[in-house]
Structure 1
Amino acid sequence: MQLKADTRTVVVGFVGGCLAFGLVFWLVGVDSVLSALRDARPRYLLGVLLAATVWLCSWGLSLRVVLGSLGERRGVFESLVVFAGATFANNVTPFGQAGGEPLSALLISRATDRDYEDGLATIASVDALHFVPTLTLGLLGLGFVATRITFGQRLEYVAATVLALAVVVPVGVYVGWTNRYRIERAVVRALTPVVRTVANALPVVSTPADDAVERRIEGFFESIERVGSDRRRLALAVGFSALGWVALATSLWLALASLGVSVPYLVTFLAVPVGDLAALAPTPGGLGGVEALLIGLLVAVSPAAVGTVSAAVLIHRAATYWLPTVVGGGAASVILTD
């Protein structure tokens, strides 16, 4: 299966994201942010870079473990390159992971010489596994904040969101897994006519037979089942995912510390997962939305000036968004042109 990224959509979305990103810091005050950045302590900045590297490597290893569940043995470095490319896809396409998964699946299938359905199942499994530790860390951070800070309206919304996700996600996963065969049949019935209709409308694409479409959809669900049935590898993949989330929280904490902002470490366990929710925004990688959420939450739990907090968020995002986007873009280019 071949897939082409809609370059125009990517460019428009990325430009829109940059505008949203700029708007956030314009509202905060560019001068105050730049003034705070001048006081950043270099040794903490090196720590931010190291934490971001640990995050990328941890989630790359999680991808490697999931590939192993499908019988695909790949080296550590190759897995990290593939994950960097997938990160680039998430960061430049609208709606974050949801928008980047088709391109990420293509990168994985190209790098591993497997069917596109296997690539899609792999990246979907990795993204799903990230929910387990992020909810755990979010609840841990929420519990800590609840014992130390009086909740205003903003924090009440945050608490309600985290608690709702802590209930909805596990229930949804359980219901989906126990009814996976019924869901598979429903997807086959719903998507087969859609795929054939789209193929008929495109003169350069041959119309697939019903059984061919059905085989591809079934192949995707079979790959998901193989990943979900390997409990040892699942636990290992979740462990690497959790390490990555801790590294992300550490990156944010060190970014704040680099500017003299002192917040309890566990506060970042709440801030990072909540900020990640903005990755579902229509801007690439949640650009602009993630920064706004992080600034709003950290200002609510810290006495530091908003300009200083914003500068710390900018440092954190430079290491965990902009740098991986540049590195991942190179990785994606190598994979697609190989």
Structure 2
Amino acid sequence: MDVDWRTTLVGFAAALVVLGLLVGLVGVGRVVDALSRADPVVLVGVLAVATVWMTAWGLSLRTVLGILGSAIPARVAVLVFTAATFANNVTPFGQAGGEPVTALFISRTADTEYETGLAAIASVDSLNFVPSILLALVGIGYFSATVAFGRRLQYAAVAVAGLAVGIPLVGIYAWNNRYRVEATVVRLLTPIIRWFGRVLPRRDPPDVHVIEARIERFFHAIERVTGDRRRLAMALGFSALGWLCLSGSLWLSLYALGYPTPFAAMLVVVPIGAIAGITPLPGGLGGVEAVLVALLVPTTGVTVAAATAAVVIHRTATYWLPVLVGGGTAAAIGAGGILSTPDRKTREND
């Protein structure tokens, strides 16, 4: 649960340099001038839509945990999701860096095994991929029928098509060979985990059979998630609602500046921009903004300054707001799990 503040600060410093270069290239005065014209009423709408996004994805997490037999209240699931978003936003490589911490948040609040929490958040991440690509394909279809593709839009279309074809094929192959994958993961991770157990102070290397059992529990939890199709569809619905809200946040950000644009453009821009979250910067900060601006200009026809100002508004609602709310939630969980479910509190009192 301890945060490596030195690494985090270095990461944020690098991200701020990237953001500074982006705004500097566009022109600080031009961006500030665009922001000064923002409609305050619409800005409130941006925050409201961002709140619905966090709620929807939190309910998706709750649905997956329900499949795994760890029922938690909706409000707790939403707060845990904000803590998960905080973890993703302050660690390098986005979700890849934040999900191990998120699994610990889940295990503490849902009173479940760590492997179950990791399987839950991994399942939510996988489910989120499906509607994002489908919505992006809808946006690409709109542009192919209404406007001529520019070079950047062609690149975006190729990226979406590649993801739509490549990742499902990899997923199907991995699922059909999941027992072989499980054995490979056990073989590769066991010596690494035991090495960490030997070098870390006050830690004994875990037994090989313990490691194998915990990895097997993780894969078994993934199998359970895929077996409940009704609740799986419900989780996908919450995920799709979240993506629509993220797209709506960016659309409203432009609208607040006086630029009504095709909503279909947001369906393409937002999912592709999210891919930049895998950069080694905290939560993709800096990289995501640059990609969003680069895609907004050719897809909407707005000026670079307007696109940059809109991205600043959008990311304030979808990056900095979860950092503030989720940071408080993460601190509460780390301080003793005040978000514990009623059943867990009862057991602790007993």
Compute the TM-score of the two structures, normalised by the length of structure 2.
0.93
- Give structure 1 regions of 4+ aligned residues with deviation exceeding 6 angstroms: none
The one-letter amino acid of 2:157's match is: A
Per-residue CA distance 1:116-169 (angstroms, 9 max, x = gap)? 111111111111110000000010011112222322222221111110000012
| Percent identity of paired positions between Structure 1 and Structure 2 | 52
The alignment partner of 2:37 has SS state of: coil
Q: Show the 5 A alignment for 1:256-295.
A: 256-295=254-293
The alignment partner of 1:81 has SS state of: helix
Q: Show the 5 A alignment for 1:140-155.
A: 140-155=138-153
List runs of 5+ in structure 1 lacking aligned partners: none
Of 315, 323, 326, which aligns to 1:325? 323
Compute the TM-score of the two structures, normalised by the length of structure 1.
0.96
Report the equivalent of 1:243: 241
1:104–1:123 CA contact under 8 A, matched in 2: yes
Per-residue CA distance 1:64-96 (angstroms, 9 max, x = gap)? 001101101110111111111001000110011
The one-letter amino acid of 1:117's match is: E
Report the equivalent of 2:45: 47
Report the equivalent of 1:89: 87
Report the equivalent of 1:308: 306
Of 182, 188, 191, which aligns to 2:189? 191
The one-letter amino acid of 2:41's match is: R
Instruction: Say whether residues 1:159 and 2:137 are aligned partners.
Output: no
Instruction: Say whether residues 1:24 and 2:16 are aligned partners.
Output: no
The one-letter amino acid of 1:159's match is: A
Of 62, 65, 75, which aligns to 1:64? 62
The one-letter amino acid of 1:108's match is: I
Report the equivalent of 2:252: 254
Report the equivalent of 2:347: none
CA distance in 2, matches of 1:28, 1:86: 32
Per-residue CA distance 1:242-297 (angstroms, 9 max, x = gap)? 00000111111111011111211111111110111111111111111111111111
Per-residue CA distance 1:24-60 (angstroms, 9 max, x = gap)? 1121111101001111112211111111011000000
2:197–2:204 CA contact under 8 A, matched in 1: yes
CA distance in 2, matches of 1:63, 1:231: 15
The alignment partner of 2:226 has SS state of: helix
The alignment partner of 1:46 has SS state of: helix
Per-residue CA distance 1:158-185 (angstroms, 9 max, x = gap)? 1111100000121122111111111111
Report how far residue 198 of structure 1 moved.
2.3
Report the equivalent of 2:9: 11
CA distance in 2, matches of 1:261, 1:59: 28
Report how far residue 305 of structure 1 moved.
1.7
CA distance in 2, matches of 1:329, 1:73: 23
Change (3 A) 1:281 1:225: same
Report how far residue 228 of structure 1 moved.
1.4
Per-residue CA distance 1:216-265 (angstroms, 9 max, x = gap)? 11111111111111111111101000000001111111110111112111
Report how far residue 4 of structure 1 moved.
4.3
CA distance in 2, matches of 1:48, 1:154: 27
The one-letter amino acid of 1:41's match is: D
List runs of 5+ in structure 2 lacking aligned partners: 337-350
Per-residue CA distance 1:189-225 (angstroms, 9 max, x = gap)? 1211221122222242101111011111111111111
Report how far residue 6 of structure 1 moved.
3.0
Of 206, 209, 220, which aligns to 1:208? 206
The one-letter amino acid of 2:8's match is: V
CA distance in 2, matches of 1:194, 1:327: 35
Q: Does 187-196 or 274-283 show the bigger shift?
A: 187-196
Alignment length, in residue pairs? 336
Report the equivalent of 1:220: 218
Q: CA RMSD in A?
A: 1.2
The alignment partner of 1:130 has SS state of: helix
The alignment partner of 1:147 has SS state of: helix
Q: Does 298-307 or 236-245 show the bigger shift?
A: 298-307
CA distance in 2, matches of 1:5, 1:38: 36
The one-letter amino acid of 2:228's match is: D
Report the equivalent of 2:341: none
Change (3 A) 1:46 1:203: closer
The one-letter amino acid of 1:131's match is: F
The one-letter amino acid of 1:76's match is: A
The alignment partner of 2:206 has SS state of: coil
Instruction: Say whether residues 1:120 and 2:118 are aligned partners.
Output: yes
The one-letter amino acid of 2:246's match is: L
